Chains A and B, each alone.
Chain A
Amino acid sequence: MDAVIENLPLFLEGFRNTLGLLIFSGIGALIVGIIVASLRISPIASFRTFATVYTELVRNTPLTLVLFFCAFILPYLQFSPGYFQLALIGLTVYTSPFVAEALRSGINGVPVGQAEAARSVGLTFGQSLSYVIMPQAVRMVIPPLINVFIALTKNTSVAGAFFVFELFGVGRRVTNDRGDEVIAILLAVAFFYLIITVTLGQIAARVEKKVAVLR
């Protein structure tokens, strides 16, 4: 236990960095994901192709490879704004197709009759999407979206291996110093992760229940 208490400032710094990675890349992935999802359902064929290809490519690439690209290849190509920012780029790119897919499954969850009704009263594509489909889809999308963010929380640990000092990186460094208390140190790291993931999971469960009542 001493090793944990002695290094508590380190752990808190790591926790802060993990939260930073989660929040910034979460927002980034949300923005890119919304763009990709709307390209995916747009009436213009080439946009749909582009979005589909992007989704397939990124989803089939391991996160480690994406972050390797950001941490090693980008600086080699003379683009190096610092490892935290590079990790943010990698996590954003990797998470965005998952966000897009979650959004799309939410749109799929809206009954076709809703869209038909919207169309039949004369709303345009944009109008039916923003007044009828999206308000319902967003509600259904929140639980799977939170699941994507839980996965993102766990994925930030990979950034720890690419020079970002977050929780996993803290765990590695402290276990190097204090080889005698490996179990306590790693359990402490696990505890910090669980704070984030369990909280998000609870929120998801609650929202899911609420949506189920509404529909």
Chain B
Amino acid sequence: MSSVLYDAPGPKARARSRMISVIGFVLVLALLAWLIWALGAPKASANGVVQPGMWDATRWDVFSDRQVWLALGRGVVNTLKMAGVAAVIALILGVVFSFGRSADHKAIRIPTTIILEFVRGLPVLLMMLFILLVFATGAYWAGVAALGLYNGAIIGEALRAGIQSLPRGQREAGLAIGLSPLSTRFRIEFPQAFRQMLPIIIAQLVVLLKDTSLAFIVGYGELLREGVRNLPNFFGERYQFSFFLVVLAIYLAMNMSLSWLARIIARRSGPKAGKLVDPEPTLTPKDSLASVRGSYSTGETAGPGSA
């Protein structure tokens, strides 16, 4: 139960900590309650018209309409469609970039490095706008291409770091048994690097899913545009806040379940799976979800089994 950072609390300290805990909890709860109450209170606007509060039934009755849910579902499908295609492109580009970046020939390595630096230094949104205006591709392909290129560059960097972190003996062994440099890279180094970097790659794919919301700005009809722009425009401004909350909940559900999946995969096939030595214990828990599930002692979750 003890953490490295502080003593195992005695009865007095435990009581004090429990008291502060309860007070903090009550404070947060009170703040939330106040927020909910403040949102729910009817407001008088400047011209004397009293608007109903945010939890009033007239602001939520729209959700009994099937069309609303169909529209939201369409938005979700569009978001996933963009994220899926962009993820495939990003993975392929990532492999290509990592090979180009660690190529033996300068003629390949240097241009790839420049392209990577350029792409990584630019906002995705700017790339979307560029592709949309210059290549006139339509919003969907502009979004897919920009997300694929940007995340491909990041995945490429991760894979390159993975290849670089391998022991040199791996490459030498491959060459020694007569494989060509390219097939050494492809058959010996790359599979190991990919496995080692899998958690980072999946985390990047979560970012990609989140970033599809940027396509809202270049005019693609994904979840955000459907939910917080089109539907309130159609059904009326007074539903804006309700639609916002629903869209937020959908996004949180999608992203959190993907993050959760990412953590499971990372734990199964991450860098730890193949290692003989336990990773170094750390001062605070490594995995944020583990700390939600387990106890909150900072010292306890250190070590391989609990991460």
Instruction: Identify the A interface with B (CB < 8 A).
Output: 40-41, 43-50, 52-53, 55-57, 60-65, 68-69, 72-73, 76-78, 101, 104, 107-112, 115-116, 119, 124-125, 128-129, 133, 150, 154-158, 160-161, 168, 171-172, 175, 182-183, 186, 189-190, 193-194, 197-198, 201
Contacts and interface: CB of A to CB of B under 8 A. Distances in A.
B251 to A, nearest CB: 6
Interface residues on B, range: 35 or more
B68 interface: no
B110 interface: no
Contacts of B43: 78
14 contacts: A46-B21, A46-B28, A49-B296, A52-B292, A63-B210, A68-B224, A76-B241, A78-B43, A107-B283, A108-B282, A133-B283, A157-B126, A161-B125, A197-B122
Contacts of A150: 121
A66 to B, nearest CB: 9
Interface stretch (B87-95, B164-172, B213-221, B268-276): B213-221
B5 A129 contact: yes
Contacts of B3: 43
Contacts of A124: 6
B202 interface: no
Contact of B224 (A43, A56, A65, A107): A65
Contacts of B118: 190, 194
B252 interface: yes
Interface in B248-307: 248, 251-252, 255-256, 259, 280-284, 286, 288-289, 291-292, 296, 298, 302
B117 interface: yes
The interface centre, meaning the residue of B3, B217, B302 with most chain A CB atoms within 10 A of its CB, is: B217
B122 A158 contact: no
B125 A52 contact: no
A171 B129 contact: yes
B133 A175 contact: yes
Contacts of B255: 60-61
A79 B11 CA distance: 47
A189 B122 CA distance: 9
Contact of A44 (B24, B214, B283): B24
A62 B123 contact: no
Contacts of B78: none
Given A62-B251, A65-B247, A107-B283, A41 B298 contact: yes
Nearest to B295: A45
Contact of A65 (B20, B248, B259): B248
A154 B4 contact: no
Interface of B: 3-7, 9, 17, 20-22, 24-25, 28, 39, 43, 117-118, 120-126, 129-130, 133-134, 210-214, 216-217, 224, 228, 237, 240-241, 244, 247-248, 251-252, 255-256, 259, 280-284, 286, 288-289, 291-292, 296, 298, 302
B17 A182 contact: no
B126 A201 contact: no
Given A49-B296, A186-B133, A168 B117 contact: no
A50 B224 contact: no
Given A49-B296, A61-B251, 13 more contacts: A40-B284, A41-B284, A62-B212, A62-B214, A62-B251, A65-B213, A107-B284, A108-B282, A112-B4, A112-B281, A154-B122, A172-B129, A182-B134
Contact of B122 (A55, A155, A190): A190
B226 to A, nearest CB: 13
Contact of B117 (A56, A69, A190, A198): A198
A56 B288 contact: yes
Contacts of B216: 64
Contacts of A116: 4
Contacts of B291: 48, 52
Contacts of B240: 72-73, 76
B285 to A, nearest CB: 9
